[in-house]
Amino acid sequence: MLADMRRAAREFLNSTPLNEMQSELIVLALDEACTNIIRHAYEGRDDCPIHISLDSDSDRIVCVIRDFGKSCDPKKIRGRELDDFRPGGLGVRIMKTAFDEVKFDPRPQGTELTMVKYLRPLGESASHARNGQTNGA
């Protein structure tokens, strides 16, 4: 299941302006999110549904991942510090590195995770980008 997700994500990301390193970081973040769903929401079961949608437009990529397992408490979700050497716990940090926005939205059954990657700096308008300008220029 995860191998198919990674393949489909790479195929989708090939149609975006991201470079290979950026794309692979996003694929890793998606893999971590799905692994966390299997581990925590579905208590280790890998035969339960995970819905993933990837969409892009001229200024962002949006990924929505929905599970139907145990809901999460967003206040308790945090990545551990990098100097805390032990297995696991880096998935959230990877997601927040790969994406500009990461939002966990608990539902009555499961959780919806929305992650957004902006393709240009926040606040930069499309007309400024076309003219090669940035805010403050």
Residue-by-residue DSSP string for 95-130 = HHHH-SEEEEEE-SSSEEEEEEEESS-TT--HHHHH
- Cα distance between residue 7 and residue 29, in whole Å: 14
pLDDT at 87: 47
pTM across the whole model: 0.80
Lowest-confidence range among 5-9, 88-92, 107-111, 114-118? 88-92
- Which pLDDT band holds residue 137 (cuts at 50, 70, 90)? very low
pLDDT in tens, 12-32: 999 999 999 999 999 999 999
Helix (H) or strand (E) holding 64: strand 60-67
Q: In the CATH scheme, what architecture does the domain 2-120 have?
A: 2-Layer Sandwich (3.30)
Every domain of the chain and the residues it spans: 2-120
